[in-house]
Amino acid sequence: MLALLFTAHWEEAEIVDVKDRGPVDLAPFTCQDVTRSSVISRVCYDTESRRMLVQRYAAYQQYCDVPKDTIEALLNARSMGQYFNANITAAGRDGSEPYDCRPRKAPSYQ
């Protein structure tokens, strides 16, 4: 039995610190490392809750109610940083970001 324990694959949970949120377990997210952007280094998306985590300049930020086609457009954009600034963080008429989690209740990932 001890031999089985040492030969079994150990999957360590990855928990990241998210700005204005604290620790978040990435288990429900699908993450993609980004190497072609000087601004964005990782994008993680939880399809069920439509939550996106973006790692920019070594810090994670969370965005809520993000449609899957927006994630695909971001990942396929010619310039991910420009797309991100124009479509994810651009302030609307009311001054809020379209995918800002603060006005919404964010799920617990712990």
Total Cβ atoms within 10 A of residue 85: 12
Tell me what pLDDT residue 8 has: 42
In a domain, 68, yes or no: yes
26-36 tens-digit pLDDT: 999 999 999 99
Residue 81's domain spans which residues?
15-88
pTM for the structure as a whole: 0.79
Helix (H, G, I), strand (E, B) or coil at 72: helix
Angle at 60 between CA 15 and CA 73, to 5 degrees: 115
Rounded CA-CA distance 109/58 in Å is: 20
pLDDT, tens digit, 9 for 90 and up, residues 39-63: 899 999 999 999 999 999 889 999 9
Number of independent structural domains in the chain = 1
Residue 79 lies in a domain: yes
Instruction: Answer yes or no: is 58 within a domain.
Output: yes
In a domain, 54, yes or no: yes
Q: Which residues contact 27 (CB under 8 A, 6 or more apart)?
A: 13, 14, 109
Mean pLDDT over 76-103 rounds to 83
Residue 93 counted as domain residue: no
